[in-house]
Amino acid sequence: SRILELVENAGAKKSRSENFITKFARYYTPIVVIVAVLLAVIPPLFVPGQLFSDWVYRAMVFLVTSCPCALVISVPLGFFGGIGGASRNGVLVKGGNYLEALADTEIVVFDKTGTLTRGVFRVKEIVPQQMSPQELLRLAAYAESSSNHPISLSLREAWGQEIDRNQIEAVEELAGLGVEAVISGAKVLAGNEKLMRQEQVPMSEQQLPGGTIVHLAVNGCYAGYILIADELKGDAVEAVTKLKAAGIKKTVMLTGDDQSIAAEVAATVGVDEFYARLLPADKVAKVEELLNSKSARGKLAFVGDGINDAPVLARADIGIAMGGLGSDAAIEAADVVLMTDEPAKISDAIGISQRTLRIVRQNIVFALAVKLVILVLGAIGMASMWAAVFADVGVAVLAILNAMRVLQNPLPRHLRR
C-alpha cells in the first residue's frame, strides 16, 4: 500500500510537454483564414481599378497555401516513425512526448539489482556461529520461503530441499529490513545489518566481505551470515560509457544494498555518483534532489526493474523499466520499456529520440519556409494555384517521405552497428 501511495503521489507531479501542433494550430488557422478574407475584400474596395475576382483568386491561393497539412501529418508521423524504429531495436516508448523528452536527458539514474546487475543471486559463502552451515541455510530458506525476492529465491535454491510448511508458524516481512519468522517454536530474524541493530542483536565485530549479506538471529542471538553474490550485466559498463559519450552530464546509481557493495559496483561500471542503503521512499527523495540539480529544460531518466522502483519510475521525468525481468508494477509505471533488459539500449533510445526530433524540426522549417514564400507571392499575384497546391500537397508528401526515414534508419550513424 505504501508503494502504491508513492506511485500515485509521484505520478501527479510529473510534467507533460504540450503538443506543438495543437498550440500552433490554435493561432495559425484562424489568423490565415481572417487574412484570406481581408485579402479578398479590402483591396477591391479601397484600391481603384482592382477586380474583385482577381483578389478572390489570390485569397484562394493564399488559403490553399496556408493549409497546415504538412505539419499536421508529418510531425506526428515523425514521432510514430521514431516509436516504431525504437521498437525494432527492442525499446518500447509509450508516447511521442516521452520520445521527445529523451532527447533532453541530462541525468540518468540507475537502480542496481536487476538493472546494472543480472539480479540472479547465488549463495557464495555460509558463515555460521554455534550451528552447522546446513542448519543456518535451512533456517534462512524457511524464513524466506514466502518471498519471491531474488535473494529469497537464491536461498531456497541453495537449500535444494522441499520446505516443510508445518514447521513455519508465522512469517512477517519487514519492509527494507528482512523477515521475522517463527520456525519450530524459534524466533528467526533474517535480513540486513540494519535489522540486527533495530532488534538489538549483538554481532561480533568482524570484517565482512563485499556482496549481499543476509544476517540471521535465533531467539535474539546472532547465528551467522550468508554471503550472496550478484553478477554485473555484460553491457553495464558499455551502457554508462555510451551515455557519457552521448553527452549525458551525470550518471547516478541508487541501491538498497550496503555501502561496500554499492561502491564496488559503482567503481566497476563508472557511474559518477552512488547512494546506498536506500528504501523506496529514500530513492524518491534522492530523485527529488537530483531533479532540482538539472537545468530547466533538462530531463532526468530513472532506470529500474522491481516493484520497489515503481515510485521512482513514476516521479522521474522519464521512467525506463526492464521489460524482460521487470515487475508488472515497474513496467506499468514506466514511460519507456527495454524489452531486452540491456541497459546499453538506453543510449540507443536517446539517439533515436534525437534523430526523430531533427527530422521533425526539418519538416517544420521546410514546410513553414515554403509556405511563407508562396503566401507572399500569392498575395502579390505572382503565384498560381498550382504553386499553392505544391505548397500544400507537395510539401506534405515531401515531409512524409522525410519522416519515414526515421522508421527505416532510426539510429544516428554513430550508433548504427
CB 342 within 8 A of CB 235: yes
- CA distances for 373 relative to 35, 383, 387, angstroms: 16, 10, 10
Residue 382 has a CB neighbour count (10 Å cut-off) of: 12
Alpha helix ranges (H) inside 294-394: 310-315, 328-333, 345-379, 385-389
Q: Where are the alpha helices (DSSP H) in 121-258?
A: 133-143, 150-159, 193-198, 236-245
Biggest alpha carbon–alpha carbon distance for the chain: 112
Q: Name the helix (H) or strand (E) containing 81.
A: helix 69-88
What would you report as the CA-atom Rg of the chain, rounded to the nearest whole angstrom? 30
Count H helices and E strands in the chain, helices first: 16, 13
| CA dihedral sign of residues 384, 386, 392, 394 | negative
Assess contact for 291 and 308: CB atoms under 8 A: no
For the chain, the residue count is 417
DSSP SS3 for 24: helix
Q: Which of 299, 312, 290 is nearest to 353 (CA)?
A: 299
CA 41 from chain centre, in angstroms, equals 54
Per-residue cell: 416 = 548504427
From 54, 104, 111, 305, the catalytic residue: 111
Say if residues 370 and 383 touch (Cβ distance below 8 Å): no
Specify whether 341 is catalytic: no
Q: Kindly give, in sequence order, each residue whose CB lies less than 8 Å from that of residue 373, ignoring residues fewer than 6 positions away.
A: none
Burial of 45 (0-12, 13-18, 19+ CB in 10 A): exposed
Residues annotated as catalytic are 111
